[in-house]
Amino acid sequence: MKYVTVTVLIIIIGIGVFSLFNQSSNPVKEITTTELKEQMKADQTAVYVDVREVDEFEDGHVEGMKNMPLSSFAETHEELPKDKEIVLMCRSGNRSMQAADFLTQQGYSIVTNVAGGMLSWDGPVK
């Protein structure tokens, strides 16, 4: 019985340590498009970036977003300030998460991804 208790305890501690490590290994925060709407109204200091390609952006985008296509993001990301929150959006949330992961690797500490991207956006587009 002792061995079962010790084994269960080790498993529980292992899961806890893994969960803690997993949370801290990805500092990218995710928000919904509803939260994005609220934040854009309240927070004018964050930088809002749409990483879709130029033609996608021109077909319709959220007003206030700057277009920085993922295809050239490695060359243009240095335009973004490291001391402000960078909020990233794309069509579905996948490319923006790639850009978010890239930014954190480059030393950006306040990075947010919009989960669901334009597919989830139900507000006006420009």
The beta-strand segments (E) located in the chain are: 29-31, 47-50, 66-67, 86-89, 111-114
The enclosing domain of 98 has a CATH number of 3.40.250.10
Give me 63's structure tokens: 């007003």
User: Predicted confidence band at 56 (pLDDT cuts at 50, 70, 90)?
Assistant: very high
What 8-state DSSP symbol labels residue 64?
T
> Which residue has 């500092």 as its token pair?
27
Residue 19 inside a domain? The answer is no
Report how many domains make up the chain. Answer: 1
Per-residue pLDDT tens over the stretch 30-45 = 999 999 999 999 988 9
pLDDT exceeds 80 at position 61: yes
- Residue 123: how many other CB atoms lie within 10 Å: 11
CA distance 83 to 86: 9
Residue 5 inside a domain? The answer is no
**Could you give the residue numbers annotated as active site?**
90
Give me 47's structure tokens: 């930088």
Taking residues 1-21, report their average pLDDT: 50
Residue 14 inside a domain? The answer is no
Q: Cα dist. 89→12, 65, 108, 112 in Å?
A: 37, 9, 16, 9
Range of the domain at 57: 28-120
* Average pLDDT along the chain: 87
